[in-house]
Amino acid sequence: MSVSVLGAGAFGTALAIALAGQGAITLWARDAGDMQSKRENTRRLPDCRFPDQLTVTPDLDEAAKADIILLAVPMQQLRGFLADNANLLSGKALVACCKGVELSTGVGPIQIITQEVPNAQAAILTGPSFAADIARGLPTALTIAAAKDNVAKMLQEALTTPSLRLYRTTDTIGAELGGALKNVVAIACGTAMGAGMGESARAALMTRGYAEMQRMAAYRGADPETLAGLSGFGDLTLTCTSEGSRNYCLGLSLGRGEAFDPSTTTEGAATAHAVAKVAKDAGLEMPITMAVAGLLDKSLDVKAAVNSLLNRPLKEE
Ligand SMILES: NC(=O)C1=CN([C@@H]2O[C@H](COP(=O)(O)OP(=O)(O)OC[C@H]3O[C@@H](n4cnc5c(N)ncnc54)[C@H](O)[C@@H]3O)[C@@H](O)[C@H]2O)C=CC1
Ligand SMILES: O=C(CO)COP(=O)(O)O
């Protein structure tokens, strides 16, 4: 099975490096020139040299010939990218590698793939992993989800490496929501830590944030067990506790009242607004998500956000 990665940000580049150990792999980049000459993605993933089996190309027609295509463009760009290239991608196994909920529609990557490239086999690769860890070959475990188990199994076998271990599930909704929603909680946790609220506050936010994730997942028909796995609990743990996470760092900046580089990919920001809308329309209680959305659009300051959580009516856990 041939594999290509479309999108050469930190994660796409890291996956291409990791999978190059298994055989030839193509990485498509809009701006391939520098990477072709330097054999490194100096901008997004410095100090990780490309193996010989990795070919970087700006030619999408060439890259799209592979049987398995990993889609590593950011979440809010996914639909436009697929719509522009639907003919090239028709009939392929398309694996979303992005995490989030679409701002304009409230849906996740699997539904976007299904809508834009109807006869593709849609899947998602998600779970706790920093790009630099994967590129360096550090031990990592991820979830691969596809609606049909035979597709999930085929992808699990094709994309597992000696250091990257994939678990499979057919619960695509649970897998994509786990990865999407943990980023919103990471922003909340970063904010708490940045504002000096302490480790106990972070633990409370992680736990009650997880309860919100479970609530949204149940509403969307996911299996709660999926959220207890790598995509969900696993990714929540990583992203809410490490400055390696851009979403957590966005929160740190909010908590400290500092500026944050707007060009940084922080999927949790758009997802917070998307999920807040879905929750409001559905009557779901997601107060942490609402507080994060309020912090981001500046309708709440940190003090008001904390008060909005602490002053809620007392309830059973
Ligand atoms: N960086 C990480 O450690 C991890 C990232 N992810 C997910 O991977 C996705 C991508 O994130 P990163 O690679 O880290 O972001 P990044 O900011 O490093 O790179 C994004 C890349 O997407 C490209 N891009 C943007 N719009 C595009 C379009 N319309 N067509 C083609 N290319 C386009 C940009 O040129 C850039 O190379 C996100 O959803 C993120 O949540 C998942 C796990 C780990
Ligand atoms: O998804 C990630 C880890 O699993 C990466 O997190 P950030 O996008 O917050 O950097």
Express each pLDDT in 286-303 by its tens digit.
999 999 999 999 999 999
Residue 71 Cβ inside 6 Å of ligand 1? The answer reads: no
Contact 129, 153 (CB under 8 A): no
CATH of the domain at 19: 3.40.50.720
Specify if 176 maps to a domain. no
Atom of ligand 1 lying closest to residue 13 CA:
13
Q: Is the same domain home to 201 and 132?
A: no
Residue 254 structural domain: 181-311
Domain end, chosen from 124, 142, 170, is at: 170
* For range 3-21, the mean pLDDT: 97
Percent of the chain residues past pLDDT 70, beyond the cut: 100
Specify if 317 maps to a domain. no
Collapsing DSSP to helix, strand or coil, 71 comes out as: strand
Q: Is 11 annotated as a binding residue?
A: yes
Q: Is the same domain home to 142 and 189?
A: no
Q: What does the pLDDT read at residue 81?
A: 98
Mind listing the pLDDT tens digit for each residue in 308-317?
A: 999 999 999 9
Binned at pLDDT 50, 70 and 90, residue 305 comes out as very high
Ligand closest to 265 (CA) is 1
Domain end, chosen from 128, 148, 170, is at: 170
Q: What does the pLDDT read at residue 187?
A: 98
Whole-complex ipTM: 0.99
Q: What does the pLDDT read at residue 36?
A: 97
Active site members? 182
Q: What does the pLDDT read at residue 73?
A: 98
Q: Is the same domain home to 61 and 136?
A: yes
CATH of the domain at 238: 1.10.1040.10
Measure 246 CA to ligand 2 centroid, in angstroms. Answer: 6
Q: What values do phi and psi take at 270, rounded to 5? A: -65, -40
Q: Is the same domain home to 227 and 298?
A: yes
Domain count, the chain: 2
Q: Is the same domain home to 159 and 193?
A: no
Q: What does the pLDDT read at residue 151?
A: 98
Whether pTM exceeds 0.90 = yes
Calculate helix-pair angle for 199-219, 287-296, nearest 10 degrees. Answer: 110
Q: Is the same domain home to 34 and 128?
A: yes
Q: What does the pLDDT read at residue 74?
A: 98
Q: Is the same domain home to 18 and 117?
A: yes
Domain end, chosen from 145, 170, 195, is at: 170
Q: Is the same domain home to 78 and 135?
A: yes
Q: What does the pLDDT read at residue 256?
A: 98
Q: What does the pLDDT read at residue 235?
A: 98
Mind listing the pLDDT tens digit for each residue in 35-47?
A: 999 999 999 999 9
Please list every protein residue whose CB sits less than 6 Å from any atom of ligand 2.
99, 128-130, 183, 186, 235, 238-239, 245-247, 267
Mind listing the pLDDT tens digit for each residue in 177-215?
A: 999 999 999 999 999 999 999 999 999 999 999 999 999
Specify if 70 maps to a domain. yes
pLDDT, averaged across the chain: 98
Q: What does the pLDDT read at residue 96?
A: 99
Measure 28 CA to ligand 1 centroid, in angstroms. Answer: 12
Q: Is the same domain home to 13 and 150?
A: yes
Specify if 200 maps to a domain. yes
Q: Tell me which residue of 238, 214, 233, 199 sits closest to 288, measured CA to CA.
A: 214
Residues 6+ apart with CB under 8 A from 283: none
